[in-house]
Amino acid sequence: MEPTPEIRRLMDVMPASGRMHTKIVSKSEQPWVIAAPFPLPWKPERTVLINFDLWRRLPRPQRDLVILRTVSWLGAIRWFQPGLFQGLAVVGLMGGVAEALQGDALGLVMATGLTTIAGLQIWRSSRSCALELEADAVALRVAQRRSYTEAEAAAHLLAEIAAVAQIEGRSALNFTELIRCQNLRAIAGLSPVEVPETIRRE
176 shares a domain with 192: yes
Q: How many alpha carbons lie under 13 Å from residue 128 in its C-beta half-sphere?
A: 17
135 shares a domain with 71: yes
Q: Which of 29, 48, 51, 26 is nearest to 38 (CA)?
A: 48
| Terminal Cα distance for the chain, rounded | 39
DSSP 8-state code for residue 40: P
Domain termination site, one of 97, 125, 153: 125
| DSSP letter for each residue of 160-193 | HHHHHHHHTT-SS--HHHHHHHHHHHHHHTS-SP
Domain termination site, one of 67, 94, 125: 125
133 shares a domain with 42: yes
pTM: 0.78
Q: Total domain count for the chain?
A: 2
114 shares a domain with 14: no
186 shares a domain with 96: no
64 shares a domain with 43: yes
Residue 35 CA to residue 19 CA, distance in Å, equals 17
DSSP 8-state code for residue 128: S
SS3 23: strand
**pLDDT tens digits for 117-131?**
555 555 455 567 888
**pLDDT tens digits for 63-114?**
999 999 999 999 887 655 554 444 555 445 555 455 455 655 555 555 555 5
Give me the pLDDT at residue 76, please. 82
131 shares a domain with 112: no
108 shares a domain with 131: no
Give me the pLDDT at residue 198, please. 76
173 shares a domain with 191: yes
162 shares a domain with 66: yes
**pLDDT tens digits for 148-197?**
999 999 999 999 999 999 999 999 999 999 999 999 999 999 999 888 87
194 shares a domain with 111: no
Q: What are phi and psi of 192, to 5 degrees?
A: -85, -5
Domain that includes residue 187, residue range:
3-77+127-200
Domain termination site, one of 125, 156, 181: 125
155 shares a domain with 103: no
Q: How many alpha carbons lie under 13 Å from residue 161 in its C-beta half-sphere?
A: 22
Residue 182 CA to residue 173 CA, distance in Å, equals 12
Sorting pLDDT into bands at 50, 70 and 90, what band is 44? Answer: confident
Residues 6 or more apart in contact with residue 177 via CB below 8 angstroms: 161, 165
Q: Indicate the Cα dihedral angle 105, 111, 113, 118, nearest 10°.
A: -170
**Neighbouring-strand partners of residue 47:** 23
